[in-house]
Structure 1
Amino acid sequence: MSEQHDILIKELIKLLEGGGAHATLEDALEGIPAEKLGIKPHGLPYSIWQLAEHIRIAQWDMLEFSKDANHQSPKWPDDYWPKEAAPENPGDWDKTIAAIKADRKVFIELLRSGDIYAAIPHGDGQSILREALQVADHNSYHTSEIILLRRLLGIWK
């Protein structure tokens, strides 16, 4: 591949992993007391748990769509958001965080492994590049919401 391609892949990975001028998703999710995960402060529509789980579901869907012609996306919007404000059991939070990280790692490998510009054969014009940008944009948007909720709950740095 060309040097420009390698630079683009490197920058896309930085975008997916977050950081630079902004807090990472890991920063936003780190050290949240379990009793705060299900609170919806000031009448806001989502809790931290719901936002994190939404990130997991949406990122998983974009990853699976990118690599699997037989993937069936969840029903929008109902199946992209958990109905419960808090995790059912303490292990669910850890599983969600681990799944977000694992799926992001697989998506990064997908970026490194092929033609990011080519149309995904089973899509309607999407490419791996487009999906990478969408994952990064989506996760960044909701990361900022998690940080806002943490500020409102008095549990941000």
Structure 2
Amino acid sequence: MMNNDHEILIDEVVHLLQGGNAHADIKKALQNLPKALRSVKPDKLPYSIWQLLEHIRIAQWDMLEFCKDGSHQSPEWPNGYWPKETGPESDETWEKSVKQIDKDLDELINLVKTGNLFTKIPHGDGQNILREALQAADHMAYHIAEIIVIRRLLDAW
């Protein structure tokens, strides 16, 4: 790929990770969310906004650590990726989760910007930074949409 094409690809992947184009980002999805609704599970839905937020945090962290660390151990699937509690223990717990998502997203973006997108991750089975970044963006967009649907069901969007 030509150098300019590589830069364009990096810019587009970063834009996608940040919730670009048709996707809302996590900040927009959580903006002005009443605290009381963080733990509400609407009728017949399997999770609350808190559980989705934590799932996003855990999965994104796992993808990032996989990219960086050959000795990283992923959580057990599926239980290690989904909290049992429907709500955070405290406002501090909520804020810590939001901040960790932001921090890990920034680190993933930096990895995209500085790493070779196409080189196989040595400890993987064919994955590369591009694939992991696209998976992270897709995963985030999917679950942000669910947060927005829950907010709409709760008349909070």
TM-score normalised over the length of structure 2: 0.97
Alpha-carbon distance, 1:21 to partner: 2.1
Distance 2:109 2:154 in 1: 33
Task: Write out aligned runs for 1:5-154 (5 A).
Answer: 5-154=6-155
Letter of the 1:84 counterpart: E
Distance 1:26 1:144 in 2: 12
Letter of the 1:149 counterpart: I
Distance 2:65 2:8 in 1: 25
Identity of aligned residues (%): 56
Q: Which runs of 5+ in 2 are unaligned?
A: none
Residues 23 and 141, structure 2, Cα contact 8 Å, conserved in 1: no
Deviation by residue 1:79-123 (Cα, 9 ceiling, x = unmatched): 100000000111111111100010000001111112110100000
Distance 1:60 1:22 in 2: 20
Letter of the 1:112 counterpart: K
Q: Which runs of 5+ in 1 are unaligned?
A: none
The CA RMSD measured in Å over matched residues stands at 0.9
The count of residues paired between Structure 1 and Structure 2 equals: 156
Residues 63 and 136, structure 2, Cα contact 8 Å, conserved in 1: yes
TM-score normalised over the length of structure 1: 0.97
